[in-house]
Amino acid sequence: MAQNDSAISGLKVLLGVSGGVAVYKAVDLASKLTAAGALVDTVMTENACRFVLPKSFEAVTARPVYTSMWENPAGFQIEHISLTDNSDIVVIAPATANIIGKAANGICDDLLSTMLCACWRKKVFFAPAMNEKMWTNPVVGKNVETLKKMGFEIIGPEKGRLACGTEGIGRMSEPADIVKRLEQMMTK
Could you give the domains of the chain?
12-186 (3.40.50.1950)
Question: What is the tens place of the pLDDT at every residue in 40-96?
Answer: 999 999 999 999 999 999 999 999 999 987 665 555 455 556 787 789 999 999 999
Cα distance between the two ends of the chain: 28
Contacts of 24 (CB under 8 A, 6+ apart): 51, 52
- 108 as an active site residue: the answer is no
DSSP 107: -
Q: Half-sphere exposure of 164 toward its Cβ, with a 13 Å CA cutoff?
A: 11
Proportion of the chain above pLDDT 70, given as a percent = 91
Q: What is the pTM of this model?
A: 0.91
Question: What is the tens place of the pLDDT at every residue in 124-163?
Answer: 999 999 999 999 999 999 999 999 999 999 999 999 887 7
Question: Out of 49, 108, 119, 164, which one is annotated catalytic?
Answer: 164
